[in-house]
Chain A
Amino acid sequence: MTLAIDVHGLNKSFGDKHVVNDVTIQVEAGRICGFLGPNGSGKTTTLRMLCGLLTPDSGSGEALGFDIIAQADEVKRRTGYMTQKFSLYEDLTIAENLQFTARVYGLDRRRERVDAALERLGLTSRRGQLAGTLSGGWKQRLALAAATLHEPRLLLLDEPTAGVDPKARRTFWDEIHALAAEGLTVLVSTHYMDEAERCHEIAYISYGRLIARGTAAEVIAGSGLVTLHGEGPNADRLAHDLAGAPGVETAAAFGAAIHVSGTDRAALEAAVRPYRREPYRWSEVPPTLEDVFIQLMSQSQDNVR
């Protein structure tokens, strides 16, 4: 197997804030790796270090076989990076944005490539429209087209679908999978669990530390979490009573139902016992990725305190 990303011990501080702490990531070529973690956990900083926008304080590694520090230029040439905010030019048209990107990368057959990208996006008829007038979903698809115009081998996406509606998100992810099928490696940060589940594997980062790694099933299994699902009239209101009870690590309402999770099965059962009566019905369910992440989040917070 070849690693598209292979970095170890990355550190980055801004002032006295240690934003990225000893992060080691390996991503196999052609895989989609979901990069998850709470806000401010260092995801964006890590992505920026990978594409040469930031210099790590310490640590080293390779992207696409090039040293990310010494050969940042080589990495840049072969990497597509999409920022969190729409960062094409709103006052240029759709076609002009793509033409600009094509020139910056010094591509040949520019007209052909831009036309092909427009065709693929389905924006050929709207090529003369200003990019700023596109809806959120279209903007992100245009940005993705611009980031992949130079046929990169690595794609770094920073929360590409934040604030985008579900249908547009699905289209966007279909495109990402199509790209991965062509051999592109993708590292994508997200907060959406459904997106995390569409990744080949997941890396979970919190407070600058990588704390979970693997496929969705591996991460769920590795958490050792037990989840109980409670139903019944107003079962959701139990979340308030159960949260904070010994053995309950997370308690969250899902519509009229409730999910309580904990790693200590006996303690969790004990906490739920007073509510094992009519009208409530309890059953054990496999924990969702979200349950696992919320537990990971609260755990790592405890570690920091």
Chain B
Amino acid sequence: MSGLSWLRVLAVLVKEFKQLTRDRITYAMMLAIPVVQLTLFGYAINTEPRHLPTAVLVQEDSRHARSIVAALKNSAYFDFVAQARSPAELDRLLRNGEVQFAVTIPGDFSRRVARGDRAQILVEADATDPSATSGAVAALAALPDLALRHDLTGALASRQGEAPFEVVVHRRYNPEAITAYNIVPGLLGIILSLTLVMMTALSVTRETERGTMETLLSTPLEPLEVMIGKLAPYVFVGLVQTAIILVMAATLFQVPMGGGWIGLSAGIALFITGSLALGFLISTVARSQLQAMQMSFFYILPSILLSGFMFPFRGMPAWAQWIGEVIPVTHFLRVVRGSLLKSQGLGDQWRELAALTAFVLVVTALAMARYRRTLD
């Protein structure tokens, strides 16, 4: 063996550098990934969200009730976005995900406070994602001592060591705050995206790269026939994966299977279709399997970080939530978690299903428009 020649190393090194910068997508990815990651992790992700949407049901309009609402607001954890008129409406707002918290101030609240008779307010938290609510729930501990400090005078105020009322917290949908209840249904969305988008993108790009697409195009095959024939196997792959994940979620992790099967099935069908169409769209843009891989990765990254899969959606700043709303995984996660954990019905899920439908339509239209039946 002859010694290490730096000149030869340099020859390889220079060649490698040139090739690295010649593929523009690779080059862009090299620069974009750190920028995107830093922005996302640095600005968008916040594991302790504040300003969570809260609905309130005030059954007595009193000074005390107003003080409690004001104190909740001051904690910066709660933003009051809705005033429910009935317990049923409050329940609906919590179930369909419009609010994270539902606060009930009962009709006899002031009276009980005055009598010192175990006055209570009820705070129901949507605990499907335990990390989204834990900070706010912890902050509730200080509420009884602070909320009515200015209201109570004389004998009522002087009752030292005993709070004037009690906050009852119900962690709905996931009372034991089990993280797996949130993560495991979420994984369905991530795993389906990972495999389906990437597999389709690669399977079509592979034909282009190997030159077999040219042969396919020279036969009487129609573009739609190619698309259906190539994508159908992956629909099957997606369904098998879904079945595996749901069975494992139920058996290994005891994730509740709350129901909402119609919405869930519709969501799964739309999501699989959308992911396949996206993969197909990528394959019409990518010129090599490497590029298809990189583009898929570029889609998967925000799907994991900005969809609410890993970090609370409501903890992100508004701009990040906007990006998140465009990502289909976000809506799919809401459907899956809503169905399994919250037993949502179609009435609760139509917005998410509509968003998924829009995604499918737009991406399919783009993919069909970009697909060329010739090599032009």
Q: Chain A: residues with CB nearer than 8 A to chain B?
A: 48, 51-55, 73, 76-77, 79, 81, 83-90, 101, 104-106
Contacts and interface: CB of A to CB of B under 8 A. Distances in A.
B374 A55 contact: yes
B218 A51 contact: yes
Given A83-B214, A85-B211, A88-B212, A48 B219 contact: no
B7 interface: no
Contacts of B211: 83-87
A53 B217 contact: yes
A282 B374 CA distance: 54
A54 B374 contact: yes
A52 B376 CA distance: 10
Contacts of B219: 76, 101, 104-105
Chain B contact surface mostly: loop
B217 A90 contact: no
B48 to A, nearest CB: 51
Chain A contact surface mostly: loop
B375 interface: yes
Contacts, number: 47
A83 B374 contact: no
Given A88-B215, A104-B219, 7 more contacts: A52-B218, A54-B374, A54-B375, A76-B218, A76-B219, A83-B215, A86-B211
Contacts of B210: 85, 87, 90
22 contacts: A48-B375, A52-B218, A52-B374, A53-B218, A54-B374, A76-B218, A77-B220, A79-B218, A81-B215, A81-B218, A83-B211, A83-B214, A84-B211, A85-B210, A87-B215, A88-B212, A90-B210, A101-B219, A104-B216, A104-B219, A104-B220, A105-B220
Contacts of B375: 48, 53-54
Interface string B200-213: 00000000001110
Contacts of B212: 87-89
B221 interface: yes
A76 B374 CA distance: 12
In the complex, which range does the number of interface residues on chain B fall in? Answer: 10 to 19
A261 B219 CA distance: 45
B202 to A, nearest CB: 14
Contacts of A51: 218
Contacts of A106: 220
A153 B210 CA distance: 27
A222 to B, nearest CB: 33
B288 to A, nearest CB: 15
Contact of B376 (A55, A77, A79): A55
A51 B218 CA distance: 7
Which of A52, A87, A90 has the most chain B CB atoms closer than 10 A to its own CB? A87
Contacts of A89: 212
Nearest to A146: B215
A32 B216 CA distance: 25
B138 to A, nearest CB: 57
A85 B211 CA distance: 7
Contacts of B221: 104
A73 B218 contact: no
B172 to A, nearest CB: 52
A52 B217 CA distance: 9
A148 to B, nearest CB: 13
Nearest to B225: A104
Contacts of A88: 212, 215
Contacts of A52: 218, 374
B4 to A, nearest CB: 36
Contacts of A76: 218-220
Nearest to A74: B220
A51 B374 CA distance: 10
A76 B215 CA distance: 11
Contacts of A77: 220
Interface string B249-287: 000000000000000000000000000000000000000
A52 B218 CA distance: 7
A79 to B, nearest CB: 8
Which of A53, A83, A88 has the most chain B CB atoms closer than 10 A to its own CB? A53
A87 B214 contact: yes
Interface string B353-376: 000000000000000000000111
A160 B216 CA distance: 18
Nearest to B215: A87
Contacts of A83: 211, 214-215, 218
A86 B215 CA distance: 10
A214 B216 CA distance: 33
Interface in B318-376: 374-376
The 3 lowest CB-CB distance pairs between A and B, nearest first, are: A81-B218, A87-B211, A85-B211
B208 to A, nearest CB: 11
A183 to B, nearest CB: 21
A281 B210 CA distance: 52
Contacts of B216: 104
A170 to B, nearest CB: 25
